[in-house]
Amino acid sequence: MLSEKARKFIEENVKLMKPNAVHICDGSKEEADELICQMVGNGMLKQLNAYENNYICRTDPRDVARVESKTWMITPEKFDSVCRTAEGVKPIMGNWMSPEQFEKEKHSRFPGCMNGRTMYVIPFSMGPVGGPISKIGIQVTDSSYVVLCMRIMTRVTPKVWETLGNNDFVKCIHSVGAPEPLKRMFFDCIMHTYRLNYGSNFSFRLIVNTRYYVILKFYKYGLLLAELQNMPL
């Protein structure tokens, strides 16, 4: 069922984050209903009565959307990801981190971070599965809330595995950590179609693939525009 590349990605992250169990998501209503029941039972979700199938999920008040200072783009060269500015002036369009520093940050957060929890493996497609411009990815997370959100934002189905084959895919990694909102960081490894999110349980930040695709699209568009206009990179 799983391709060699997909299996390797999952096994590497199981070894790194050490979850107690691994669940391969199928995107079914039965799966969602079971997760909702568990989350209501442990207080993570509270049912609202105004509408059918309506729930509220709260997070740490320190865990908010506006965390640009903790969001980093990882590229070999600084000006592959941020604009050029005068000396001493900080770019306002993003934060750059070297691959070497990224590895240090990653290994100060992710080892063993899923201990005691379940790792959910989510095969997803941005757009119809098999569509000409659709993108396939695999997200691993220890948040059941992410699983529910991904069913809304993307196509989550076993058909993704069949369509993917042994081709490349976007690798998305998320963990709530302890959770640790004060240590949360968000990494976009543009050159390797790789995104990591640590320490947050805020909804927008959890759906790491959507943000990644927006960044990747504009990054590639910017490179193309610079090439067409003979602009220095």
18-22, 45-49, 172-176, 203-207: lowest mean pLDDT where? 203-207
Q: For all residues of the chain together, what is the average pLDDT?
A: 82
Could you tell me the domains of the chain? Answer: 4-27+67-228 (3.40.449.10)
- Would you state the pLDDT for residue 142? 93
pLDDT tens-place string over residues 110-125: 999 999 999 999 999 9
What interhelical angle do 29-41 and 144-153 show, nearest 10? 140
194 versus 122: the higher-pLDDT residue is 122
Complete DSSP assignment for 171-215: EEEEE-TTT-GGG-EEEEEGGGTEEEEES---HHHH-HHHHHHHH
Report the first-to-last Cα separation within the chain, whole angstroms: 42
pLDDT tens-place string over residues 140-176: 999 999 999 999 989 999 999 999 999 999 899 998 8
The model carries a pTM of 0.82
Token output for 1: 């069922």
Evaluate the CA torsion angle 39, 44, 48, 54 in order and state its sign. Answer: negative
Task: Burial-class residue 1 by CB neighbours within 10 Å (0-12, 13-18, 19+).
Answer: exposed
Q: Is the pLDDT of residue 221 over 50?
A: no
Instruction: Give the integer Cα–Cα distance in Å for 157 and 137.
Output: 12
191 pLDDT band (50/70/90 cuts)? low
- Would you state the pLDDT for residue 123? 97
Q: Is the pLDDT of residue 223 over 90?
A: no
